[in-house]
């Protein structure tokens, strides 16, 4: 069987302050290549590159990565405020319809952090602009100082639904994860099933109900140390296994 190709959604970045680029963290590339055992391809988050159908046909699956800009609240019926932070409408206009297309056509997808939030918005859900401002919630943002290991280190537990998809993948109903996000799910979309929550009840693990292929997303960053972390590794392995399952079905 050929090696699956996985499109890693890129992010807009100005290099040296004035050179526009589309980038992806090497940790995303390594996780797809080394753990999912797939060929990673960075997909520019630019709707101008082609139709959603063309983009979807270019890869066997997609990883919807994290990113600093947030999903624009106009996509879920809210007004933009200062608390929502920066936006990238090009990414929104590519990822939201691409997620729906992949689910409809049985293309495996994995959402990470912003990608997790995109899954929810794509299927009619809403977002809180700032989790730490809600009563009883912890600060889920990345620590300001420290090494990469400290910034991406485990921060809190996630409790998983017994007998659910994530509990099956991890072989546990409680896992330790990192935390590097400001926003989070407010109302889940009609097809968005929450299977994991942080200790403060923040949704952390979801899947899309009725999807014919892998359609799972997590609010944390499993791409960090994915080859060795006991939670990250089985998640990317399960994603890779479903990529190969779908390829086999196509013959």
In tens, the pLDDT along 154-187 reads 889 999 999 999 999 999 999 999 988 889 999 9
Sign of the alpha-carbon dihedral angle for 182, 207, 167, 160: positive
Encode 21-34: b = buried (16+ Cβ within 10 Å), e = exposed. Answer: ebebbebbbbbbbe
* φ and ψ of 228, to 5 deg: -120, -25
Q: Which residue has the tokens 């709707």?
A: 47
| pLDDT tens digits, 27-39 | 999 999 999 999 9
Q: For residue 134, what are its two tokens?
A: 């809600």
Cβ atoms 200, 185 nearer than 8 A: no
Eight-class DSSP state of 110: E
Helix or strand (DSSP H, E) at 38: none
Nearest 5°: the CA angle 128, 23, 155 is: 45
Name which of 95, 82, 91, 84 is nearest 126 in CA terms. Answer: 84
- Rounded to an integer, the average pLDDT of 197-214 is 97
pLDDT at 148: 84
Q: Is the pLDDT of residue 76 over 90?
A: yes
- At 125-142, the pLDDT tens digits run 999 988 888 888 987 887
Q: Give yes or no for residue 221 having a pLDDT over 90.
A: yes
How big is the chain by its Cα radius of gyration, in Å?
17
Flag whether pLDDT at 210 surpasses 90. Answer: yes
d(CA 158, CA 160): 6
pLDDT value at position 195?
A: 98
Portion of the chain with pLDDT greater than 70, in percent: 100
Q: Residue 197's beta-bridge partner residues? A: 159, 203
Give residue 232's Cα distance to chain centre.
13
Position 149 scores a pLDDT of 80
Q: Which domains does the chain have, with CATH numbers?
A: 5-250 (3.40.50.880)
The DSSP secondary structure of 163-208, one letter per residue, reads TSHHHHHHTSSEEEE----S-EESS--TTEEEEEEETT--EEEEEE
């Amino acid at each position: 069987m050929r090696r699956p190709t996985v499109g890693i959604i890129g992010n807009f970045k100005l290099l040296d302050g004035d050179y526009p680029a589309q980038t992806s963290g090497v940790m995303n590339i390594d996780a797809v290549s080394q753990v999912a055992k797939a060929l990673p391809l960075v997909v520019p988050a630019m709707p101008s590159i082609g139709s959603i159908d063309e983009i979807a046909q270019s890869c066997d699956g997609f990883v919807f990565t994290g990113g600093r800009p947030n999903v624009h609240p106009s996509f879920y019926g809210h007004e933009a405020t200062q608390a929502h932070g920066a936006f990238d409408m090009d990414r929104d206009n590519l990822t939201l319809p691409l997620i729906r297309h992949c689910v409809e056509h049985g293309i495996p997808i994995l959402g990470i952090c912003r990608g997790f939030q995109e899954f929810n918005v794509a299927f009619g859900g809403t977002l809180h602009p700032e989790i730490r401002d809600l009563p009883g919630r912890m600060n889920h943002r990345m620590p300001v100082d420290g090494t990469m290991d400290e910034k991406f280190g485990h921060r809190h537990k996630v409790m998983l639904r017994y007998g659910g998809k994530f509990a099956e993948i991890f072989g546990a109903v409680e896992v330790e994860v990192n935390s590097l996000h400001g926003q989070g799910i407010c109302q889940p979309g009609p097809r968005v099933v929450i299977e994991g929550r942080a200790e403060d009840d923040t949704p952390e693990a979801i899947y899309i109900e009725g999807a014919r292929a892998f359609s799972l997303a997590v609010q944390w960053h499993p791409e960090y140390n994915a080859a060795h972390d006991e939670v990250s590794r089985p998640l990317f392995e399960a994603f890779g296994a479903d990529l190969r399952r779908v390829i086999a079905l196509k013959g």
